[in-house]
């Protein structure tokens, strides 16, 4: 089967998860802390319910496929096709009532991300990509996604969710990027990467990402003409320290600063 065969099903996953999540958004919902350290790592009933819905659909339609999910662990992760799910990427924004969170759905074939979608059901937006192209669908209609050209870091707008999520050493290294960029902003989680694919942001730099935080975003950014790697310039689907850029010149310049 090709990725095209899965596109309609991924749309079903997005619709089902969105319908599950929205009744919880901007309500008084209970919040648990998954963190075993002092860092707050919230999870809500909406996270668990949405992932459960997607898992049921996958198992009913593709029982031979594997699943990697943030809330309920891994099943058959050595299968040829593996779904990587993050029901609410940006839970901290979600519990604060800000609509800069999204559901991340990735399909891996033999370990490589071949299709990804970010669904923001409150705004009604979907960003999707298959490495060769990327597309947007939302209130303003449908269009192809395309990164913008940016000749150097000094002309770039860069995002990270928060430097406080970085360890002390990485935060100091990231400071080199901030000093060199035209504009540095915080927040966004998955939304920052989609804005990069849409041509509104030039660089996103993060650390401590899990596979479910980044796998779905790789085909979107790559399909829009961007670059996503680790800080070491390696494939990014395993997570860790991630850098995404719209223009390869900015990616190369930023990599040199991160590894200088």
Q: Report the alpha-carbon distance of residue 145 to residue 135 in Å, rounded.
A: 5
Instruction: Quickly tell me which residue has 């790697």 as its tokens.
Output: 229
- Going by C-beta distance under 8 Å and a sequence separation of 6 or more, which residues neighbour residue 191? 90, 100, 101, 102, 118, 120
Tell me if residue 35 falls in helix, strand or coil. coil
Which pLDDT value is given to residue 1? 47
For 16-53, write each residue's pLDDT tens digit: 999 999 999 999 777 776 655 656 556 788 999 999 99
Range 201-222 average pLDDT: 97
Q: How many angstroms separate the Cα of 168 from the Cα of each of 6, 36, 173, 215, 254?
A: 42, 19, 9, 26, 19
Q: 260 pLDDT exceeds 90?
A: no
Helix axis angle for 3-21 and 45-61, nearest 10°, is 150
DSSP class of 186 = E
Q: Is the pLDDT of residue 5 over 90?
A: no
pLDDT at 246: 98
Which letter does DSSP use for residue 155 in this model? G
- Global pTM reads 0.93
148, two tokens: 């913008």
User: Over 50: is that where the pLDDT of 188 sits?
Assistant: yes
Q: Tens of pLDDT along 155-182?
A: 999 999 999 999 999 999 999 999 999 9
Q: Under DSSP, is residue 257 helix (H, G, I), strand (E, B) or coil?
A: helix
Is residue 202 predicted with pLDDT exceeding 90?
A: yes
pLDDT band at residue 240 under the 50/70/90 scheme: very high
**Confidence band for 6, pLDDT divided at 50, 70 and 90:** confident
Asked if 240 contacts 211 with a C-beta cutoff of 8 angstroms, the reply is: no
């Amino acid at each position: 089967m090709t990725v095209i065969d899965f596109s309609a099903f991924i749309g079903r996953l997005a619709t089902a998860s969105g319908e599950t999540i929205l009744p919880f958004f901007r309500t008084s919902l209970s919040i648990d802390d998954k963190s075993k350290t002092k860092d707050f790592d919230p999870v809500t009933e909406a996270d668990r319910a949405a992932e459960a819905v997607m898992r049921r659909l996958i198992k009913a339609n593709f029982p031979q496929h594997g699943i990697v999910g943030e809330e309920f662990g891994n099943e058959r992760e050595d299968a040829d096709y593996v779904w990587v799910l993050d029901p609410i990427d940006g839970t901290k924004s979600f519990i604060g009532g800000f609509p800069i969170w999204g559901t991340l759905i990735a399909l891996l074939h033999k370990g490589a991300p071949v299709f990804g979608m970010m669904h923001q059901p409150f705004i009604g937006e979907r960003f999707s990509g298959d490495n060769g192209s990327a597309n947007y669908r939302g209130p303003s209609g449908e269009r192809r996604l395309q990164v913008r050209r940016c000749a150097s870091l000094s002309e770039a707008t860069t995002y990270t969710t928060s430097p406080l999520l970085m360890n002390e050493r990485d935060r100091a290294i990231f400071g080199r990027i901030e000093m060199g960029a035209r504009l540095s902003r915080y927040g966004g989680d998955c939304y920052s990467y989609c804005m990069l694919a849409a041509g509104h942001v030039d660089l996103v730099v993060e650390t401590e990402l899990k596979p479910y935080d980044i796998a779905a975003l790789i085909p979107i950014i790559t399909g829009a003409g961007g670059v996503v790697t680790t800080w070491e310039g390696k494939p990014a689907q395993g997570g860790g320290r991630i850098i995404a850029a719209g223009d390869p010149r900015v990616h190369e310049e930023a990599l040199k600063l991160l590894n200088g």
